[in-house]
Amino acid sequence: MAKPGTFSCSACGASFSKWSGRCDACGEWNTISEDAPLSSGPASKSLGTKRGRPITLTDLSANEAPPPRTGSGMAELDRVLGGGLVPASAILVGGDPGIGKSTLLLQAAARFARAGLKTFYVSGEEASTQIRMRAQRLGLADAPVKLAAATSLRDILTTLEAESPDLVIIDSIQTVWADNVDSVPGSVSQVRAAAHELTTFAKRKGASVIMVGHVTKDGQIAGPRVVEHMVDTVLYFEGERGHQFRILRSVKNRFGPADEIGVFEMTGGGLAEVANPSELFLSGRGDPAPGSVVFAGIEGTRPVLVEMQALVAPSPHSQARRAVVGWDGARLAMVLAVLEARCGIPFAGLDVYLNVAGGIKISEPAADLAVAAALLSAREDSSLPSETVIFGEISLSGALRPVGQTENRLKEARKLGFTSAILPSGGKSGGNGGVSLTRMSDLTAFVGEVFGA
């Protein structure tokens, strides 16, 4: 917790010993404010009288069963949580305003309540009647969820203490206000204090607490990133505006794999689960077109096929443009540099646009080869066979490096009707999933084979 006389930035959460107009860590102006002092405790120099009792690890494992998890019945949500909700855990769900966090959590609350958890939905943003109206629209009006519209941390904790719920949803952590902390709601100190108290409550009472957090324009959970360190699980709810798909992604999970995704579709009646995302992401694909390549990716534990689209055109500007949606700009620059340096294919004077169709963000280096293929296909104006998937990592030397879970990628490709795959040579040779394989050891060979250059 903050020491008296320290200052923090409300944008990035960095701490400073003195005030300044501009945050040295993130460069934002007017975001630094003094942390509210905490009530003075015992002098830090003297030792306390309470002594903790250490337990040996072996004693613990003998009588501690793994925590019982409660599933919501929404497979997409349960998988991201690592197999369901764990008691005595704190979860942060971050996302842009309007992306659908409240909708998702109200639906989840109803499911968990029907699964037998005593569920409490605390909103600081909407009145109870508004939440009830939303529940009605979602067809959840009869779910045994208790609603409260409150913002005072003291009131919330008093209520929770009396009710002893199994699941508490706080929508949102930025609206919660602690009266013992002397700063405005939504500030770093307030969010930190509220998250700390609620996490402590979760651990002490064995409840699960889900906190909603809005993210700022640069993608951080608004206010302190320290909240991410306090909680057990951090999920992000993301999606592109104008797209119906929403992706729930675990970026940290003490009780399950990180990087797992759940895919939803926003409909008139709330969020619907998407059991087969590959089908959805490829659904808009027409005839084979130059610049379009299907990448067989892995998101968390699940294979996902997506279409990579590239456009390469002579640049009217003195400095050619590089624009990326859904992938890493630095990684694109690297692939372009390798194509230029190792294969002698220049992109100077050409504008390059890369888009991952469907509004999903890909972070795997395994997409390198698919990106290179899309760029070449766009540059040469020749389309690749539409029934081929491509994956593999490109190293700076131009060599192709094998990637993990080859078999799962191929199986998914087979399932969606793809008959061939281009991938790096080497790596574990598992089954080919019924897909004919073309293995390549370097990018130059790939360019020669696929584009005849």
In the complex, the residues that contact Mg ion under the rule CB under 5 A are: 102
102 has binding-site annotation = yes
Task: Considering the complex, state which of residue 264 and residue 295 has its C-beta at the smaller distance from Mg ion.
Answer: 264
Task: Considering the complex, state which of residue 13 and residue 95 has its C-beta at the smaller distance from ligand TYD.
Answer: 95
Sequence-separated (6 or more) residues with CB below 8 Å from residue 232: 86, 89, 90, 91, 253, 254, 255
Q: Which does 98 bind (CB under 5 to 8 A by kind): Mg ion, ligand TYD, none?
A: ligand TYD
Q: How far apart are the first and last CA of the chain?
A: 61
Strand order in the sheet with 436-440: 322-325, 350-356, 302-314, 292-299, 388-390, 420-424, 436-440
Q: Find the binding residues for ligand TYD in span 318-337 (CB under 6 A).
A: none
Q: Find the binding residues for ligand TYD in span 82-101 (CB under 6 A).
A: 95, 97-101
Work out whether 109 is an interface residue with ligand TYD (CB under 6 A): no
100 has binding-site annotation = yes
Task: Considering the complex, state which of residue 210 and residue 389 has its C-beta at the smaller distance from ligand TYD.
Answer: 210
Question: Shortest approach of ligand TYD to residue 101 CB, angstroms?
Answer: 3
Question: Shortest approach of Mg ion to residue 141 CB, angstroms?
Answer: 19
Closest by CA to 191, choosing from 124, 238, 248, is: 124
Q: Name which position in 27, 206, 219, 269 contacts ligand TYD (CB under 6 A).
A: 269
Sequence-separated (6 or more) residues with CB below 8 Å from residue 189: 2, 8, 33, 35, 36, 181, 182, 183
Task: Considering the complex, state which of residue 31 and residue 102 has its C-beta at the smaller distance from Mg ion.
Answer: 102
Sequence-separated (6 or more) residues with CB below 8 Å from residue 86: 67, 69, 208, 232, 255
Work out whether 355 is an interface residue with ligand TYD (CB under 6 A): no
> Distance (Å, rounded) from C-alpha 21 to C-alpha 32?
7
> Distance (Å, rounded) from C-alpha 285 to C-alpha 395?
30
Work out whether 250 is an interface residue with ligand TYD (CB under 6 A): no
Q: Name which position in 10, 72, 103, 174 contacts ligand TYD (CB under 6 A).
A: 103
> Distance (Å, rounded) from C-alpha 128 to C-alpha 257?
35
Report the binding-site residues: 95-102
> Which residues in this chain contact ligand TYD in the complex, by CB under 6 A?
95, 97-103, 134, 137-138, 266, 268-270
Which residues are known binding-site members for ATP? 95-102
